[in-house]
Structure 1
Amino acid sequence: MAPRRLALLTALLLGIALVLVLWLRIPWAPTPQVADPTAGLTTDQLGRADAFAAAIRPASVANLLLGLLASGALGLTRTGARWITAVARPLGGGWFWQVVLGTVLLTLVGRLVTLPLSGYGEVVRHRYGLSTRSWPLWVRDLAVDTAITAGLTALGLLLLVGLARRAPRTWWAWAGAGAAGLVVVGSFLYPVVIEPAFNDFTSMPEGQLRTDLLALADENGTPVQDVLVADASRRTTALNAYVSGFGSTRRIVVYDTVLDQLPDAQVESIAAHELGHVATDDVLTGTLVGALGAGAGVALLGWLLGSAPLLRRAGAPGAGDPRVVPLVLLLVAVGTLVSTPVQNGVSRQLEARADQHALDLTADPESFAAVMRRLAVANLNQPDPPAVWQWFFGSHPTTAQRVAAAQEWSR
């Protein structure tokens, strides 16, 4: 079989495996019937959430489309290929430096193109009291995120181009296996490598809340190594908590804003929700889905990069030539955009199951409903956003649905 057809067949088979995993591992339960779309929020609270959404959403969509347009302008013309060649010329122009420096350059260009919209978004968050970051801290966070993104992207592209140079017919198979492996490794390393780049974490002081959270984890059958407090208030007034890591890196993380604003019963309700993800192995499921998705995506990429017309348009003779980098970045961006509603649809189902787990574990639907309302108010979330927006961008059930789930549990 021709390598390009084999790549497409592999992508299809991995896609089928991905669908099976989603079918077997995801609780495809119906959403609860919502009697009150306001979720009990006041008129002022609803108006504030609506005004924030009206101010931030158009900029968010424009940011997304502008970034995609910039990727298209570089990936579907010879401009990007010329940039890749030129940026590495001072260092001899070898393929290694073309990939590394070219990736850094394109990442920087992408950030600069969308910088005005990102800055506007931060202005809006300041205006509504959601962001507490100073502008120097905002610039620092943007620089760190850009550096991490450029570094990880360059690593992946070095793997792809290097393999394509050594194994022109089967590079996509080796690269797909490597991408799946990186997803697994990343799940283990993210809590101890990436998270500390943006927040400082300290162990929660000894006290009743810490004792209760550790006991809740034990009762859940998923003991944690520590309960950490993140200094989120340096950047935001938003409320959040989560459980991250596997085994020795598993810990409950609570924003300091949560401790400042919520009573202990509501903090425990949030933690119970997060522990629900652990009890049902959602992190493992996400890792497996991510690995299969990465493998299928790289195989599909192998099929696409076998298209001579597409390569000619990009100014690259093949996948083993560094000038293919802009085209690869474009195809990844398009694939990410297309898969977003699928990923969020899966996420909503997992979050709904974790909500039910929290209600079962704490047997306190009043605290659960109360904290969902507090989260909506603090994070400026509309309790019942437009259906299209929720379908595409909503990673959690709406506040109205979560409050309705608590009421159903009570009945």
Structure 2
Amino acid sequence: MTARRVALVAAVVLGIALAVVIAVRTPWVPLPEPAGGHTAVDPTAGLSADRVARAEAFAAALRPASLVSLLLGLAVSALLGLTRAGARIVRAAAAPLGGGWVWQVLLGVVALAVLGRLVTLPLSAYGEVVRHRYGLSTRSWGLWLRDVWVSVAIDAALTALSLLVLVWLARRAPRTWWAWAGAGAAALVVAGSFLWPVLVEPAFNRFEPLAAGQLRADLLQLAEENGTPVQDVLVSDASRRTTALNAYVSGFGSTRRVVLYDTVLDRLPDDQIESIVAHELGHVATDDVLTGTLMGALGAGAGVAALGWLLSSPRLLRRAGADSAGDPRVIPLLLFLMTVGTLVSTPVQNAVSRHVEARADVHALDLTRDPDAFAAMQQDLAGSNLSDPDPPAAWQWFFGSHPTAAQRLAMAADWARLDRP
């Protein structure tokens, strides 16, 4: 069997393993159907006509720009990856430092990342204008630019280092590089899950412990009752950037903590905050992060094996102006293939995510036994975050990572009709 065929077989086997994990670990039916059938979904989610109209107007102003940005980024990536233009940029970026292959990879990735971001920057700026217009963003333009370039810097640095290792492996082991790189990619996914809250989150927000008081005591007690004690309850200075409401649980073991946006503390009563935190604790109780990490690791391994198969095609390499997977001029093609893979996997990831989020909603209701607070919280989140309570089906299928507000309220009504233990 040729090395190229081995890579294809490995990609298929890992893809099948990923499909099995998705099938087994996804909560396809997070809540049984109550007697008499499911509660009808109210497309307004109980929001006033003015709030619904405002959310729909916000979405109508933002969706076209988001879609154009996605397609423009894909088109630029294709232009650079499927022609020799990208290879020329890679070589030119490294020329001032002698043009060695290491500099071609590192500086080529940075140059391509900055170019890609510059192309879509006007659309991002338009999106920020819309968020300012509707009162969702509180960032100054200086802070917005800082956030954009910090994000680009982090992404470019991680991508450059990862691809440097990949190209080095391809140069050292031309037939089996994809196997070693796939194992490394899977390991990076696992490491990233543990290190993200410690290394990346502080680059964008400051965190302070929630002041001692009844709410802090109640949230720590809620985590204990959930069987997932946390080390701390922190408050993020999210209001520097947004008026949106959110909370989450991040970290593992000794780094696990509840994080509340300061906007949540300012605008929601304690029972609704407890409902949000109970939802996030549901993800911990059902090991959703660990399952997601396993899925990500399998997906990364399958993706790199697929790259091993694709980059064994002389025709594809010639189109990109590269000689082999160990040629640094292959970087634009690699980035394009990674972009396509991410785009193709997005609806699958979001389908799984919607079911996982629905199970966390059920967990929150089971833990707090307060469907009224849950419903009020969902309505306040939808109103404050300008979430369309009933988005177009195609948009929700592709981009929706959570059930809609209308669906979540109907599920809460179903929960109240069931005799849950």
TM-score, structure 2 normalization: 0.97
Change (3 A) 1:33 1:70: farther
1:123-162 maps to which residues of 2 (within 5 A)? Answer: 123-162=129-168
CA-CA distance at 1:86 after TM superposition = 1.4
1:132-211 maps to which residues of 2 (within 5 A)? Answer: 132-211=138-217
Change (3 A) 1:73 1:278: same
Match of 2:356 among 350, 360, 370: 350
Extract unaligned runs of 5+ from structure 2. 32-37
* Contact in 1 for aligned 2:230/2:257 (Cα 8 Å): yes
**Counterpart of 2:29?**
29
CA distance in 2 between counterparts of 1:93 and 1:68 reads: 28
**CA deviations over 1:369-408 (Å, ceiling 9, x no partner):** 1000000001100111110000000000010110011111
1:201-280 maps to which residues of 2 (within 5 A)? Answer: 201-280=207-286
* Contact in 1 for aligned 2:317/2:323 (Cα 8 Å): yes
1:238-387 maps to which residues of 2 (within 5 A)? Answer: 238-387=244-393
3-state SS of 1:37 partner: coil
CA-CA distance at 1:33 after TM superposition = 4.6
CA-CA distance at 1:30 after TM superposition = 7.2
Q: Report whether the alignment pairs 1:75 with 2:63.
A: no
Query: How many residues of Structure 1 are paired with residues of Structure 2 in the alignment?
Result: 411
3-state SS of 1:253 partner: strand
**Counterpart of 1:49?**
55
CA-CA distance at 1:90 after TM superposition = 1.3
CA distance in 2 between counterparts of 1:306 and 1:375 reads: 49
AA in 2 matched with 1:298: V
3-state SS of 2:389 partner: coil
* Contact in 1 for aligned 2:41/2:407 (Cα 8 Å): no
* Contact in 1 for aligned 2:30/2:359 (Cα 8 Å): no
**CA deviations over 1:322-367 (Å, ceiling 9, x no partner):** 0000000000001100110000001001000000000000000000
**Counterpart of 2:9?**
9
CA distance in 1 between counterparts of 2:69 and 2:49 reads: 30
* Contact in 2 for aligned 1:33/1:401 (Cα 8 Å): no
CA distance in 1 between counterparts of 2:352 and 2:197 reads: 22
CA distance in 2 between counterparts of 1:23 and 1:59 reads: 34
Extract unaligned runs of 5+ from structure 1. none
AA in 2 matched with 1:133: R
Question: Root-mean-square deviation (CA), in Å?
Answer: 0.8
CA distance in 1 between counterparts of 2:263 and 2:72 reads: 33
**CA deviations over 1:117-155 (Å, ceiling 9, x no partner):** 000000000000000000000010011001001001101
3-state SS of 1:175 partner: helix
CA-CA distance at 1:34 after TM superposition = 3.3
TM-score, structure 1 normalization: 0.99
Deviates more, 1:382-391 or 1:28-37: 28-37
**CA deviations over 1:175-212 (Å, ceiling 9, x no partner):** 00000000000000000100000000001010000000
AA in 1 matched with 2:24: L
CA-CA distance at 1:92 after TM superposition = 1.2
CA distance in 1 between counterparts of 2:286 and 2:161 reads: 32
3-state SS of 2:243 partner: coil
3-state SS of 2:208 partner: strand
3-state SS of 1:384 partner: coil
